[in-house]
Amino acid sequence: MPEFFYDNKLYYTPIEFALNHIGGTWKMPILWRLHKNVLRYGELKKDIPHITDKMLASQLKELEVKGLIGRKVYPVVPSKVEYSITEKGMKAIPVIETIMNYGYELVKEAGIEFPPKK
């Protein structure tokens, strides 16, 4: 199989390349939330309470650098920043939805009630 370098990293398959863009614990949940709404940092943090501030900031930066989200800074005090998904990021949504549906199937097969009743 041919290999290729991009951004000083060696890839063996397009799957590895795609997962570098949307893989990991946090990128897909962030993209999923942004595909429906433009959100501020605090709104994302509130909607994903188990992510640390450091991790949320780093994941937002990575997604922005890769062109999957946009960041708009308003010139006001206190500062106001909004995050939105880009057209490139929207292309990942069907993939994320497929993974989510597969996750629901696995949860059901495991006999786990989700979402749990309160």
- 79, 73 contact by CB (below 8 A): yes
User: pTM of this prediction?
Assistant: 0.90
Query: Percentage of the chain surpassing pLDDT 90?
Result: 86
- 12, 3 contact by CB (below 8 A): yes
- 88, 95 contact by CB (below 8 A): no
pLDDT digits (tens, 9 = 90+) for 59-114: 999 999 999 999 999 999 988 999 999 999 999 999 999 999 999 999 999 999 98
Q: How far apart are CA 13 and CA 22, in angstroms?
A: 15
CATH classification of 4-109, choosing from 3.30.930.10, 1.10.10.10, 1.10.472.50, 3.20.20.70? 1.10.10.10
Phi first, then psi: give them for residue 25, nearest 5 degrees.
Answer: -75, -35
Among the listed residues 35, 38, 112, the one whose alpha carbon sits nearest the alpha carbon of residue 80: 38
What per-residue confidence (pLDDT) applies to 1? 64
Q: Is the pLDDT of residue 14 over 70?
A: yes
Number of residues that this document lists for the chain? 118
